[in-house]
Each structure stands twice: as structure tokens, then as C-alpha cells.
Amino acid sequence: MTTPTALLTIRAWCEDGSEHPLRAEIHLTQDVSSGFQHALTLADSERVVEAVRGFLEDLVSSSG
Amino acid sequence: MLPTVLTDSVDIAVRRTEDENMDEMKNRAAYTMRRRGGHGPESGGRSKEGPRISLLGGFRLEDEGAAIVLPEGSRRLLAFLALRGRLVKRPVAAGTLWPVSTEEHASSSLRTALARLPDSGRAAVEATARDLGLSGRVTVDIWESRALAHRLLAPESSTQGGDVGAGAVSDLSGELLPDWYDEWVLIEAEDWRQLRLHALEALATRLTARGHYGDAAAAALAAVRAEPLRESPRAALIRVHIAEGNISEALREFARYRELLMVELGVEPTERLHALVADLFDVTPR
């Protein structure tokens, strides 16, 4: 049996002229064989970092 | 100084490598010529004869209109060759398709994928001892759709009959291999997504200019569906409604987008989008 592969993709762009121009669309899954399990869009870089950190922490805790 | 025997062998080895490189260049040039004469990625041409590979909306191989069922490894191989659209060295194909396997195991998986192709699938592949590619008879939907998108983004004179119509909306609406998560697919899928978004907006603009508002709205809506939070497709859709004189629908679309942005991100549309609809409030019947 192969180890599940987790995947996180971030599609990011800027809406010029917006007060908060960042748009980061995140798709993530802890097992690609199930497809993407969650999707969220954020406009704040700190929250993007939090989402990535949470994803990695979930991965580590599920492997232990 | 190297001993004579050794320098000779080095010289022979260098010459052999040069000969091999020359052979390879000839092979690749011949392959490109064959593809150009047929239905290669550059031509975007479509033929009703020969095998057809569809990658938009999911993988499908057809021959003479009949669907051919393939094992997973063979499907991935054909999809990979279709996306590359040119000759690929066998080790590159094996290493890309089976990246976590050993080189030996990946090569074996590649041979298996080729061997398990049914006759009609095998006719789609051109294989030499070193390279793999699709045969000149094969057509691929993404090649045609990419060519269409590029024509729509080029000056108006580049478009062909039928480019600016409802068929184009359909050709630009499909996602590339949805639910495939291999790295070589994700990058191509993203590339296609960006291209089709721009092409759909350009198509909406051209259809609006011709007064074909229904198809223009369909094109803009397809772009909105692909990227609901992005502003430019939403602006394209609002412009279609304005051009048609459908002010209430333009305002409704603006309100829908504004609410979506507020709920999802807590932000307002840009000043540019506000300006697009600002004058409309004055003409809306009370």
C-alpha cells in the first residue's frame, strides 16, 4: 500500500486598484486519491501562511 | 597527454555522440514535418479520420467515433504525449509519469503501458527505440482549443469562420483533465485555465461588438464560472448587459459580485468596477 500524498495548490493574483489586492485561492487535500477536499480564497498574506502551516501540521500529525 | 589508444577511443566516442545527436535532430525534424503536414499542435486542425484524444473535461480516446477503454498507465501515457505534442525521450516519459519509482521500474511501467495499448491505441503512438510521440493521424482537442484561443487573442484578422460563435464558448469551457493531480498535468491545466479565461473575455467582447448578446453573455459567464472571484470576467459580463441595454441585469450582476466578495474576502470591488456601473444607477427606473 502506498503512502497517501497530500497536495496544496495556491493560485494567487492581484486585483489592481483594490484596497486589499491579494487574492489567493487555495485547494488542499491530505490524500490526492480523494481529490481536493477543501478550497478557500484569502485576501491576506498572513492568513495564507496560516493555511499552509495548518496543512503541514495536519500532515505531520496524521502520519504519526 | 592521454595514451593514443585512449584518445582514439575518446575521439570515437565523441564522434559517435555527434552522429547520434545528428540522427536525433533528423528524427525530430522529420517528426515535426510529419505533424505539420497532419494535425499537429501548431496547426490545431481537426480531422474526422484517425484516432482522437480528448483531454478537456476528462480523458477519452476515440477511433472512428468509437470510445476505446484503456488501462490507467496507457491513458496517462497518451495524455502525456498529447500534452507534450512532440517527440519525448523514453526515459523522460518514464521519469515524468512514474516519478517516485526507480529508473528501472519506471522504464518497465512505460513498456507495460505501451504493450497494453489495444491496436487502435497503438496506432496513435509513434515509437522508436529512443523516442515516443503521437502519430501524425491523431487529433487532440486541446490543440484545437489552444489554437482557437490564440486566434481570439490575436488581431481580429487572425480569426477564422466560426471562431466567434457559440461553438467557441463550448470549446473554451472545458477544464484540462479535471481530477488529475500529477505535477505535469497541474501545470498544463493552470496554463490552459489562464489562456481560456483571457480568450473567453476576448470572445465576449467580439460577440458584443457584433450584437450577439446571448452568446457574448455565455462566453463571459463561462469565464465567471472558471474564476468567480476574479474581477475582469465579471466586468466583461456587466459590459455585455450594458451593451444590450439590460441595465437592471448589469446592476444585479454587480450586486451579486459585491456580495460574494464581501462574504468570501470582506473586501469591496475595485473603484474601476464601481465606475463601470456608477452611471447606471441614474438611469434605473425607480
Q: In this structure, are residues B235 and B245 in contact, taking their beta carbons and an 8 Å threshold?
A: no
Residue of A23, A30, A32 to mutate, interface with B, max B Cβ within 10 Å: A23
Of B181, B229, B269, the CB nearest to A7: B181
Q: Which residue has the higher pLDDT, B41 or B103?
A: B103
Question: Is B270 in contact with A15 (Cβ distance < 8 A)?
Answer: yes
Residue B209: CATH number of its domain: 1.25.40.10
Task: State the total domains in chain B.
Answer: 2
What pLDDT is attached to residue A30?
93
Task: Tell me which H or E stretch contains B51.
Answer: strand B51-54
Give the pLDDT of residue B42.
59
Domain match, B87 and B168 both: no
Share of chain B above pLDDT 70, in %: 81
Q: A61 to chain B, minimum CA–CA distance in Å?
A: 23
Q: Which residue of B has its CA nearest to A17?
A: B270
Higher-pLDDT residue of B214, B164:
B214
Query: Do B22 and B103 fall within a single domain?
Result: yes
Contacts of B265 in chain A (CB under 8 A): 20, 23, 41-43
Does any domain span residue A54? yes
Per-residue pLDDT band at B247 (split at 50, 70, 90)? very high
> Using one digit for the tens of pLDDT, what is the confidence trace for B133-151?
999 999 999 999 999 999 9
Q: Are strands B131-134 and B125-127 parallel, antiparallel or unpaired?
A: antiparallel
* pLDDT tens by residue, A28-56: 999 988 888 899 999 999 999 999 999 99
Residue B8: inside a domain: yes
Question: At B59, which amino acid appears?
Answer: F
Whether residues B126 and B62 share a domain: the answer is: yes
DSSP code string of A25-52: EEEEES-GGG---EEEEES-HHHHHHHH
Residue A59, min C-alpha distance to chain B (Å): 18
- The span from the first CA to the last CA of chain B, in angstroms, equals 96
Specify the number of domains making up chain A: 1
Domain span holding position A36: 7-14+21-62
**Residue B107 φ/ψ, nearest 5 degrees:** -65, -40
Q: Is residue B148 part of a domain?
A: no
Q: Looking at this protein, which amino acid is placed at residue B251?
A: L
* Residue range B37-65: mean pLDDT, rounded: 77
Report the alpha-carbon distance of residue B66 to residue B51 in Å, rounded.
Answer: 9
CB contact under 8 A, A43 and B272: no
Same domain assignment for residues B8 and B133? yes
pLDDT in tens, B208-228: 999 999 999 999 999 999 999
Q: Is the pLDDT of residue B8 over 50?
A: no
A18 closest CB neighbour out of B190, B264, B270: B270
Q: DSSP characters for B163-188?
A: SSSHHHHHHTTPPBSTT---HHHHHH
Last residue of a domain, one of B140, B164, B188: B140
Query: What contacts B103, CB < 8 A, 6 or more positions away?
Result: B91, B94, B95
Min Cα–Cα distance to chain A from B227, Å: 10
In the numeric block, the cell 525534424 is attached to B29
Query: Residues B163, B263: one domain?
Result: yes
**What domain range is B185 assigned to?**
156-282
Residues B136 and B180 in one domain: no
pLDDT of residue B24: 58
Task: Determine, yes or no, domain membership for A33.
Answer: yes
- What pLDDT shows up at residue A41? 95
Give the residue from B83, B106, B140 where a domain finishes.
B140
Judging contacts by C-beta atoms under 8 Å, the chain A residues touching residue B276 are none
pLDDT, mean over chain A? 91
Residue B149 lies in a domain: no
pLDDT at B34: 53
How far is the CA of A37 from the CAs of A3, A25, A33, in angstroms?
Answer: 17, 14, 10
Q: Out of A16, A35, A41, whose CB is closest to B265?
A: A41
Residues B64 and B171 in one domain: no
Distances (CA, A) of B217 to A31, B4, B233, B280: 38, 76, 10, 19
The region that residue A30 occupies, defined by phi over 0 for left and psi between -120 and 50 for alpha, beta otherwise, is alpha
Residues B162 and B265 in one domain: yes
Q: What is the largest CA-CA distance in chain B?
A: 98
Pairwise CB contact (< 8 Å): B268 & A19: yes
B130 and B161 fall within a common domain: no
Q: Is the dihedral of CA B238, B241, B245, B247 positive or negative?
A: negative
Whether residues B15 and B135 fall in one domain: yes
Residue A13 DSSP symbol: E
What CATH number is given to the structural domain containing B94? 1.10.10.10
The pLDDT, as a whole number, for residue B162 is: 78
Assigned domain for A1 exists: no
Same domain? B10 vs B135: yes
Question: Does the residue A2 lie in any domain?
Answer: no
Is A37 inside a domain boundary? yes
Co-location of B134 and B246 in the same domain:
no
Q: The whole model's pTM is what?
A: 0.82
Residue A37: the pLDDT is 87
Residues B128 and B107: beta-carbon distance below 8 Å: no
Q: Nearest residue on chain A to B272, judged by CA atoms?
A: A17
